[in-house]
Structure 1
Amino acid sequence: MDRNPHLDTLVRTLGPRAEDVGVATVLIHGRNQGPADMLALAERFDLEGMPFIAVEAAQASWYPNRFMAPLSENQPWLDFALERLEQLIRNLERRGIKRTNIALLGFSQGACLASEFVYRNAQRWGGLIAFTGGLIGPAETTWTTSLQLDGTPVLIANGDQDEWVPRKRTEQSAEVFERMGGDVQLKIYPGRSHEVSDDEVERARAVLARLIPH
């Protein structure tokens, strides 16, 4: 496949225009979800001053297999998904929003994609919020990079027995981001189902609220 199908998908927004306030939160949905699911989550943050930009995956999935499958089994779709995020970020930059004022927030497959994008494009970001996610790659993956996050706020959370994202991978990812200089919050919730809890919403709200100009 030569053409990236994610480049033709819709983007939905909530809140003010990003160029009017100089900040933005990019929302990345999970498998078999869509932008509407992420905008419904954004409404729970109750942050009227934050522009939310929800990007859509082609066929409701960013890549075909589980995130801990061999990388080759998710190509070229994983590269396509990362390219779509880069395109969206560059569009925001052209509108005057710096990466230091852009947060990436994902759930499940979207949280894995957001984590991988920030890892590969490490610098000071406005924030990374990964609800039930972690870095992409098989169990034997090791992560070594000289890139630094320069204090980027990172909230990474999971249930202790999630059926899609092992707790260990979430903990490993938090350790990687700490080594890269991220300001990391790791939260593991006993017995939590595959969803975003009210406590996670409050923690994310605090991260995002700091970006909004007052």
Structure 2
Amino acid sequence: MRSHVYGLVRDAILSGKLKSGEKLNERQLAGSLGISTTPLKEAFRILEAEGLVRSEPRRGIYVTFDPAQAEEMMLARAAIESMIARQAAKRVSEEQILRMRALLIEMRTGLETVDVLELINLNERFHNVIHEASGCAYLRRLQGGQSIYNHTARLSVLSEERERFLAVEEHEAIADAIAERKPDLAEQRMRDHVIRSGEKHLIRVSQSEDQKDRA
């Protein structure tokens, strides 16, 4: 229950639904989720440790996630993912290349059905194959710490048709570089992909902040 509640609140913060500076009403939020305040309090403690909320004595819980923090998380992901792609290009197996290609075919099919959640699932499975191919256990653990942010960013970006097509094209280019065992190219293409899509998500977060300021 705690992890489920934590995921729901964290997703709302990272997507901009809960905005920087906004006070979180425990009872109201618990009521909307259909839960008691106990798992919510536990979730708040984890979120505070992550720097997404702050607790002020006798005042309450406030959201602290803002566009600057979103940019930092995007840059961290770009650094980690690009190095993972680099190592994958050195170590990838033929079986892993086939799995990447198969997922890309499914992604192309998904563009026609416009099933955004399925595209996100395929997207994450594609990146997981690259992570596996890299053999970088430590980097994978670091990247795992950003999994909910990554999922939220993908949901935000892939809701646009143009972005869905761009994402598949960029994934195909990354897969080509890895399959051709070109570490420099794989690293660059992955970094460019993560930064471009991350900046798109950053625009969404910034727009949410602007709407809050005008309210």
Kindly name which structure, 1 or 2, has the bigger radius of gyration based on alpha carbons.
2
User: 1 or 2, which has the higher helix percentage?
Assistant: 2
> Do these two structures clear the TM 0.5 threshold for a shared fold by scoring above it?
no
Which structure's relative contact order is higher, taking Cα pairs within 8 Å and 6+ residues apart? 2
User: 1 or 2, which has the higher strand percentage?
Assistant: 1
TM-score normalised over the length of structure 2:
0.24
